Amino acid sequence: MTSSLLTKSALGVAGLGTATTGAIYFGTDLLKSKKTVSELIKDFKKDKRLISAKEGSDLKWKAAWKHYRESNKTRNKDEWIVQGWSKVDGAIEDADAPKDFIDKCKSKSSQKIVDEKDPLFSQVVSYCTRDTLVSDLIEEYGNGKKLLVKGSDFANDKDWKAVWDLYRKDNDSASKDRWEVGKSNWSSKKSETTVPAEFADECLKKAQVPEYRTENLSYTDVLKYCTK
């Protein structure tokens, strides 16, 4: 076999090897399992939740829509081609989110992608989510417990009184209670058997604190003192 023929044969084998490697790589990429954007948010962005409110007048949707408009302010065409978007030269004002924006958030969060590196993942996280709250964690990890509601007779409600008694007991020997319900006079406040409005209000406020870690006191305290 001549030297020229040997060289051509070697190049042919090398080319075949390259083609085979490329096919294997391409095939592997195609075989990667896909997940919806919403599933990937649960996996990789535990500090965020998709906005679930239905009305564009909801404060979270209004904030999301404002952020979307601010992010697209310098564009002639907005990123998602939302009906109701228009280029604004001045300051972006608060406004109700249009239905098309909400619908696009829902449809795009349902699309399947390979992983969190897909640009769509970052877009949905940026435009369609809110902070994870303590109330979310209680609903998802609270083993069936429910946040107490401050009704008209909460001060004498048995469920409220049960957690108030527990709170008083846990803070009995302290000069200042954990949540400072008693302000500068905890020794007087802890003697009250009816539930103080300050305690119930603190429960409501702390349930809306951003939190995604179940080991933190911001979650465990509310679970202990504000649920039934």
* pLDDT tens readout for residues 27-69: 555 667 999 999 999 999 999 999 999 999 999 999 999 999 9
So what's the pLDDT on residue 32?
76
The answer to whether residue 12 is domain-embedded is no
Decide: 109 and 128 in contact? Cβ < 8 Å: yes
Coil, strand or helix at 81:
coil
CA dist., res. 56 & res. 65, Å (int):
9
Evaluate if residue 24 carries a pLDDT over 90.
no
Specify whether 122 is located in the same domain as 71: yes
Domain edge (last residue) among 101, 131, 161: 131
Specify whether 117 is located in the same domain as 139: no
Q: How many domains does the chain have?
A: 2
So what's the pLDDT on residue 184?
78
Q: Tell me the pLDDT of the chain averaged across its residues.
A: 90
Decide: 183 and 221 in contact? Cβ < 8 Å: no
The answer to whether residue 23 is domain-embedded is no
Specify whether 39 is located in the same domain as 119: yes
The answer to whether residue 18 is domain-embedded is no
For residues 199-222, average pLDDT: 98
Percentage of the residues of the chain whose pLDDT score is greater than 70: 86
The answer to whether residue 17 is domain-embedded is no
Specify whether 159 is located in the same domain as 199: yes
Give the pLDDT band (50/70/90) at residue 25: very low
* Whole-structure pTM value: 0.82
Encoded tokens for 203: 């429960």
The answer to whether residue 14 is domain-embedded is no
Domain edge (last residue) among 91, 112, 131: 131
Specify whether 173 is located in the same domain as 152: yes
Residue 129 parent element (H or E): strand 129-131
Q: How many other C-beta atoms lie within 10 A of the C-beta of residue 194? A: 12
Characterize 31-45 residue by residue with b for buried, 16 or more Cβ atoms within 10 angstroms of its Cβ, and e for exposed: eeeebebbebbeeeb
Closest by CA to 190, choosing from 181, 200, 202, is: 181
Structural domain of residue 86, as residue ranges?
Answer: 35-131
Domain edge (last residue) among 97, 131, 165: 131
* pLDDT tens readout for residues 125-184: 999 999 999 999 999 999 999 999 999 999 999 999 999 999 999 999 998 999 999 887
Long-range contacts of 188-196 (CB under 8 A, 24+ apart): 193/161, 194/155, 194/156, 194/161, 195/154, 195/155, 195/156, 195/157, 195/160, 195/161, 195/164, 196/155, 196/164
